[in-house]
Amino acid sequence: MEVTVLYDDLPSPNPGCIKGFGLSLLVQQGGFRLLFDAGSSPDVLLNNARVVGVELKSLNAVVVSHAHLDHTGGLRGLPARNIPVYVPYGQHRGLVSWLHSIGFENVVVVRDLQELGGGAYVMAYPESAISEQSLILESTSGSTMLVGCSHPGVHYMVGKAASRGFKVERVIGGLHLSDQPEYKVRSVVMELKRLGVRGLIPLHCSGGAALQYGRLLGLVREEPALCRSYSI
Protein backbone atom coordinates (compact mmCIF):
# COMPACT_ATOMS: atom_id res chain seq x y z
CA MET A 1 0.00 0.00 0.00
CA GLU A 2 1.28 3.47 -0.89
CA VAL A 3 0.38 6.99 0.28
CA THR A 4 1.34 9.96 -1.92
CA VAL A 5 1.29 13.59 -0.79
CA LEU A 6 -0.54 15.44 -3.59
CA TYR A 7 -1.11 18.73 -1.78
CA ASP A 8 0.89 20.52 0.90
CA ASP A 9 3.00 23.64 1.34
CA LEU A 10 6.22 21.69 1.90
CA PRO A 11 9.05 21.67 -0.66
CA SER A 12 9.02 18.91 -3.25
CA PRO A 13 11.86 16.87 -4.76
CA ASN A 14 9.92 17.17 -8.03
CA PRO A 15 10.26 20.67 -9.56
CA GLY A 16 6.96 20.28 -11.42
CA CYS A 17 4.88 20.12 -8.25
CA ILE A 18 3.21 23.27 -6.96
CA LYS A 19 3.00 24.06 -3.25
CA GLY A 20 -0.31 25.19 -1.75
CA PHE A 21 -1.97 25.62 1.61
CA GLY A 22 -3.99 22.51 2.38
CA LEU A 23 -3.66 18.76 2.31
CA SER A 24 -4.43 15.89 -0.03
CA LEU A 25 -3.19 12.32 0.21
CA LEU A 26 -3.68 9.58 -2.35
CA VAL A 27 -3.92 5.96 -1.17
CA GLN A 28 -3.16 3.23 -3.71
CA GLN A 29 -3.19 -0.53 -3.38
CA GLY A 30 -3.34 -2.56 -6.55
CA GLY A 31 -6.20 -1.11 -8.57
CA PHE A 32 -7.80 0.59 -5.55
CA ARG A 33 -7.39 4.38 -5.30
CA LEU A 34 -8.76 6.57 -2.54
CA LEU A 35 -8.33 10.32 -2.12
CA PHE A 36 -8.08 11.68 1.43
CA ASP A 37 -8.86 15.42 1.29
CA ALA A 38 -8.29 17.56 -1.79
CA GLY A 39 -6.42 20.72 -0.82
CA SER A 40 -7.82 24.16 -1.63
CA SER A 41 -7.12 24.66 -5.35
CA PRO A 42 -8.38 22.32 -8.10
CA ASP A 43 -5.63 23.51 -10.46
CA VAL A 44 -2.84 22.72 -7.99
CA LEU A 45 -4.32 19.32 -7.14
CA LEU A 46 -4.68 18.30 -10.79
CA ASN A 47 -1.23 19.60 -11.69
CA ASN A 48 0.46 17.63 -8.94
CA ALA A 49 -1.50 14.49 -9.80
CA ARG A 50 -0.30 14.78 -13.41
CA VAL A 51 3.30 15.34 -12.32
CA VAL A 52 3.37 12.16 -10.21
CA GLY A 53 1.54 10.20 -12.93
CA VAL A 54 -1.82 9.71 -11.22
CA GLU A 55 -5.15 9.78 -13.02
CA LEU A 56 -7.81 11.05 -10.61
CA LYS A 57 -10.74 10.06 -12.81
CA SER A 58 -10.22 6.45 -11.69
CA LEU A 59 -10.77 7.06 -7.97
CA ASN A 60 -12.84 4.55 -6.03
CA ALA A 61 -13.79 6.90 -3.17
CA VAL A 62 -13.02 10.20 -1.45
CA VAL A 63 -12.71 10.73 2.31
CA VAL A 64 -13.06 14.32 3.56
CA SER A 65 -11.48 14.83 6.99
CA HIS A 66 -13.47 17.98 7.76
CA ALA A 67 -15.29 20.84 6.08
CA HIS A 68 -12.55 23.49 5.88
CA LEU A 69 -11.77 24.90 2.43
CA ASP A 70 -8.09 23.92 2.50
CA HIS A 71 -9.24 20.28 2.56
CA THR A 72 -12.27 20.47 0.25
CA GLY A 73 -11.68 23.16 -2.41
CA GLY A 74 -9.83 20.84 -4.79
CA LEU A 75 -12.88 18.58 -5.06
CA ARG A 76 -14.28 21.04 -7.61
CA GLY A 77 -11.68 19.80 -10.08
CA LEU A 78 -12.21 16.06 -9.77
CA PRO A 79 -13.34 14.52 -13.07
CA ALA A 80 -15.14 11.63 -11.32
CA ARG A 81 -18.38 12.63 -9.57
CA ASN A 82 -20.15 9.27 -9.36
CA ILE A 83 -18.04 7.97 -6.49
CA PRO A 84 -18.85 7.88 -2.76
CA VAL A 85 -17.63 10.81 -0.68
CA TYR A 86 -17.37 10.14 3.06
CA VAL A 87 -17.83 13.12 5.39
CA PRO A 88 -17.87 13.31 9.22
CA TYR A 89 -21.06 13.72 11.19
CA GLY A 90 -21.31 17.00 13.07
CA GLN A 91 -20.97 20.18 11.02
CA HIS A 92 -21.85 18.15 7.92
CA ARG A 93 -25.05 19.70 6.58
CA GLY A 94 -23.42 22.62 4.80
CA LEU A 95 -20.69 20.36 3.43
CA VAL A 96 -23.21 17.83 2.14
CA SER A 97 -25.22 20.59 0.43
CA TRP A 98 -22.08 22.02 -1.17
CA LEU A 99 -20.97 18.59 -2.43
CA HIS A 100 -24.40 18.05 -3.98
CA SER A 101 -24.20 21.47 -5.64
CA ILE A 102 -20.94 20.56 -7.43
CA GLY A 103 -22.21 17.19 -8.62
CA PHE A 104 -21.37 14.66 -5.90
CA GLU A 105 -24.63 12.83 -5.20
CA ASN A 106 -23.30 9.81 -3.32
CA VAL A 107 -22.35 11.49 -0.03
CA VAL A 108 -22.05 9.23 3.02
CA VAL A 109 -22.15 10.76 6.51
CA VAL A 110 -20.00 8.79 8.96
CA ARG A 111 -21.18 8.88 12.58
CA ASP A 112 -18.73 6.44 14.17
CA LEU A 113 -16.65 3.76 12.41
CA GLN A 114 -17.23 2.64 8.85
CA GLU A 115 -15.39 0.00 6.86
CA LEU A 116 -14.65 0.91 3.25
CA GLY A 117 -13.10 -2.41 2.23
CA GLY A 118 -9.56 -3.35 1.37
CA GLY A 119 -8.42 -2.76 4.94
CA ALA A 120 -9.61 0.88 4.99
CA TYR A 121 -11.77 2.30 7.79
CA VAL A 122 -13.13 5.78 8.45
CA MET A 123 -13.39 6.82 12.11
CA ALA A 124 -15.43 9.91 12.99
CA TYR A 125 -14.99 12.18 16.01
CA PRO A 126 -18.34 14.02 16.22
CA GLU A 127 -17.68 14.80 19.89
CA SER A 128 -15.02 17.33 18.84
CA ALA A 129 -15.83 21.05 18.65
CA ILE A 130 -14.77 20.81 15.00
CA SER A 131 -16.07 17.48 13.78
CA GLU A 132 -13.43 15.51 11.93
CA GLN A 133 -12.62 11.99 10.82
CA SER A 134 -9.50 9.96 10.20
CA LEU A 135 -8.73 7.22 7.72
CA ILE A 136 -7.22 4.03 9.15
CA LEU A 137 -5.39 1.72 6.76
CA GLU A 138 -4.65 -1.85 7.79
CA SER A 139 -1.70 -3.57 6.11
CA THR A 140 0.69 -6.41 6.83
CA SER A 141 3.05 -3.91 8.47
CA GLY A 142 0.44 -2.56 10.91
CA SER A 143 -2.15 0.22 10.95
CA THR A 144 -1.59 3.71 9.54
CA MET A 145 -3.82 6.66 10.43
CA LEU A 146 -4.26 9.55 7.99
CA VAL A 147 -5.33 12.82 9.61
CA GLY A 148 -6.39 16.12 8.07
CA CYS A 149 -5.90 18.71 10.82
CA SER A 150 -6.35 16.68 14.03
CA HIS A 151 -8.70 19.25 15.58
CA PRO A 152 -9.81 16.71 18.22
CA GLY A 153 -6.13 16.19 19.14
CA VAL A 154 -4.03 13.63 17.30
CA HIS A 155 -3.24 11.76 20.53
CA TYR A 156 -6.97 11.59 21.29
CA MET A 157 -7.68 10.28 17.79
CA VAL A 158 -5.05 7.56 18.08
CA GLY A 159 -6.26 6.68 21.57
CA LYS A 160 -9.86 6.34 20.41
CA ALA A 161 -8.74 4.09 17.57
CA ALA A 162 -6.84 1.97 20.10
CA SER A 163 -10.00 1.64 22.20
CA ARG A 164 -11.70 0.16 19.11
CA GLY A 165 -8.98 -2.42 18.57
CA PHE A 166 -6.65 -0.64 16.12
CA LYS A 167 -2.92 -0.64 16.84
CA VAL A 168 -1.89 2.56 15.09
CA GLU A 169 1.82 2.40 14.31
CA ARG A 170 2.08 5.28 11.82
CA VAL A 171 0.43 8.69 11.55
CA ILE A 172 0.52 10.78 8.37
CA GLY A 173 -1.00 14.24 7.99
CA GLY A 174 -1.74 17.50 9.77
CA LEU A 175 -1.26 17.56 13.54
CA HIS A 176 -2.57 21.11 14.22
CA LEU A 177 0.48 21.97 16.32
CA SER A 178 2.03 24.82 14.31
CA ASP A 179 0.63 27.51 16.62
CA GLN A 180 1.06 25.62 19.89
CA PRO A 181 3.71 26.27 22.58
CA GLU A 182 6.75 24.03 22.48
CA TYR A 183 5.90 22.19 25.72
CA LYS A 184 2.54 21.15 24.29
CA VAL A 185 4.05 19.96 21.01
CA ARG A 186 6.60 17.91 22.95
CA SER A 187 3.93 16.34 25.16
CA VAL A 188 1.72 15.41 22.21
CA VAL A 189 4.57 13.74 20.31
CA MET A 190 5.65 11.92 23.47
CA GLU A 191 2.08 10.72 23.99
CA LEU A 192 1.96 9.39 20.43
CA LYS A 193 5.07 7.35 21.16
CA ARG A 194 3.55 6.09 24.42
CA LEU A 195 0.45 4.99 22.49
CA GLY A 196 2.63 2.83 20.24
CA VAL A 197 3.14 5.08 17.22
CA ARG A 198 6.49 4.22 15.63
CA GLY A 199 6.34 6.32 12.46
CA LEU A 200 5.26 9.93 11.92
CA ILE A 201 4.99 12.04 8.75
CA PRO A 202 3.93 15.52 9.97
CA LEU A 203 2.37 17.59 7.17
CA HIS A 204 0.25 20.70 6.58
CA CYS A 205 -0.48 22.38 9.96
CA SER A 206 1.97 20.33 12.04
CA GLY A 207 4.72 22.92 12.43
CA GLY A 208 8.49 22.70 12.70
CA ALA A 209 8.53 21.77 16.38
CA ALA A 210 6.49 18.63 15.71
CA LEU A 211 8.99 17.60 13.06
CA GLN A 212 11.89 18.36 15.43
CA TYR A 213 10.50 16.32 18.33
CA GLY A 214 9.43 13.56 15.99
CA ARG A 215 13.04 13.24 14.88
CA LEU A 216 14.38 13.38 18.44
CA LEU A 217 12.04 10.60 19.56
CA GLY A 218 12.82 8.45 16.52
CA LEU A 219 9.33 8.71 15.00
CA VAL A 220 10.22 10.70 11.88
CA ARG A 221 12.28 8.28 9.83
CA GLU A 222 11.28 9.55 6.38
CA GLU A 223 11.25 13.24 5.61
CA PRO A 224 7.86 14.80 4.79
CA ALA A 225 7.70 16.29 1.29
CA LEU A 226 5.19 17.27 -1.37
CA CYS A 227 4.71 14.77 -4.20
CA ARG A 228 6.54 12.07 -2.29
CA SER A 229 5.19 8.55 -1.83
CA TYR A 230 5.45 6.42 1.30
CA SER A 231 5.05 2.66 1.47
CA ILE A 232 3.01 1.48 4.43
Q: Where are the domains of the chain?
A: 2-231
In eight-state DSSP terms, residue 220 is -
Q: What pTM was computed for the model?
A: 0.97
Per-residue pLDDT tens digits of the chain, which is 232 residues long: 999 999 999 999 999 999 999 999 999 988 899 999 999 999 999 999 999 999 899 899 999 999 999 999 999 999 988 999 999 999 889 999 999 999 999 999 999 999 998 899 999 999 999 999 999 999 887 899 999 999 999 999 999 999 999 999 999 999 999 999 999 999 999 999 999 999 999 999 999 999 999 999 999 999 999 999 999 9
The pLDDT of residue 30: 83
Integer Cα distance of 224 and 226 in angstroms? 7
The pLDDT of residue 128: 93
Residue 56 CA, distance from chain mean position: 17
Integer Cα distance of 220 and 32 in angstroms? 27
CB neighbours of residue 218 within 10 Å: 11
Residues 202, 211 contacting (CB under 8 angstroms): yes
Pairing of strands 142-147, 168-174: parallel
The pLDDT of residue 106: 97
CB neighbours of residue 119 within 10 Å: 16
The pLDDT of residue 139: 86
Residues 145, 168 contacting (CB under 8 angstroms): yes
Q: In degrees rounded to 5, what are phi and psi of residue 18?
A: -110, 130
The pLDDT of residue 118: 86
The pLDDT of residue 190: 98
Topology annotation, domain 2-231: Metallo-beta-lactamase; Chain A (3.60.15)
Q: What is the CA radius of gyration of the chain?
A: 16
Task: Report helix, strand or coil for 102.
Answer: coil
